[in-house]
Each structure stands twice: as C-alpha cells, then as structure tokens.
Amino acid sequence: MYLIVGLGNPEEKYAKTFHNMGFLAAGDCAELLHAKFSRRECEASVAEARLAGEKVIIARPLTYMNNSGRSVAQLMRKYRLSSRQLIVIYDDYDLPKGHVRIRPSGSAGTHNGMRSVIAETGATDFARIRIGIREEGEPLPLIDYVLSEVKREDYELFTAACKRAAEAAVSIAAGTKIDLVMTRFNG
C-alpha cells in the first residue's frame, strides 16, 4: 500500500498558483488510476485506487501548506503506513521551472510544507517528487512568488511537469525501484 500526497492550499484562489503544483499532480495521479476525490478524512480530500493488487491512497491535505504534515501524519497512522510507503509531491523554488526531481529521502530545503511533513511524521526517508517553479530573475520575495499565479505562457510547461510527477508517483506505487524512476523522470 502507498500514500501519495500532493501538497497545496485548498481554496480556489490558490488553484493556479505555483504552491499548488502538488495538488495538481495528485489530481493527475487520481486520473491515471481512475480514482475520484470522493471523501474527506484526516483533514484531507482523499481518492482511493487499486494498483498491482494493492490499495493506493491519494491525498490533498486541507490544512494549508504550512500545516500539511498534520494531515499526512494522521493518514499514516490511520492506514498503519511506514515512511517507506509515503510519496510526497510538491513545488520547489530551488529547481528551475518545469523540472521534475525525484529523491528517496532528504531534507525540507526551503519548503515549509515539507518542514511540516518531516516534523509531524518524524521521518525523512520517504520518496519526494519535486516540481521546479523558479523563474530566473524573478524579483518577488519567495512567499509572494509561490502564491502568485502561473503565467499563461508557462501553463503548458507546468501541466506537463505535473503529469510527469504523477507518472513517477504511480510508477513508485506500482513497485518500480526508485532508482529506475529517478533515471526515467528526473530532469
């Protein structure tokens, strides 16, 4: 069993912002697995699917980005999951826009949502799929930038990146070794 979590903010006003790349990718995961976000539990909107005979839970925490870990920890307890069964997808200002980077573990970097996940779960050894959002020469402060809307001319680039991130998450959940997923999707 796997838990795939896309980080973001639940209000409609955040739907097209950089900080909602995880939510968008989680939606793509659900679409790939023919699942629907049909219920709420553990402070998250949840979709459930079967993949290779195993249950896969796809979640979008409704606790807002900076408290995402609260929902993730509740879901992990409810489904009795280890950190190795967790995949988190999120935006990353430290990567160029449109790049996807998969890692089997790591730190939170500059991301407050990931800080919350690490603090609440007490783990760093879970798969993370980062979607790069940095625009070279962007003059806005970080908080203003991540909450700004994706530019229309970049929409296709980010849509494709979210789909790649979703495909990577589904590959991991299907049992593909993370090294192979990294080779296929990083970049």
Q: What is the DSSP letter of 148?
A: S
Separation CA 99–CA 187 (nearest Å): 5
Give the position of tokens 């962007």. 138
State the Cα–Cα distance between residues 151 and 97, nearest whole angstrom: 11
- As a whole number of angstroms, the distance between CA 35 and CA 57 comes to 9
User: Using alpha carbons only, how large is the chain's radius of gyration in Å?
Assistant: 15
Active-site choice (19, 34, 99, 111): 19
Pairwise CA distance, residues 169 & 100, whole Å: 11
Among this protein's residues, is 19 annotated catalytic?
yes
Contacts (Cβ under 8 Å, ≥6 apart) of 125: 83, 84, 104, 105
Cβ-based neighbours of 96, under 8 Å, separated by 6 or more:
132, 134, 136
Distance in angstroms between the alpha carbons of the first and the last residue of the chain: 27
Active-site annotation, residues: 19
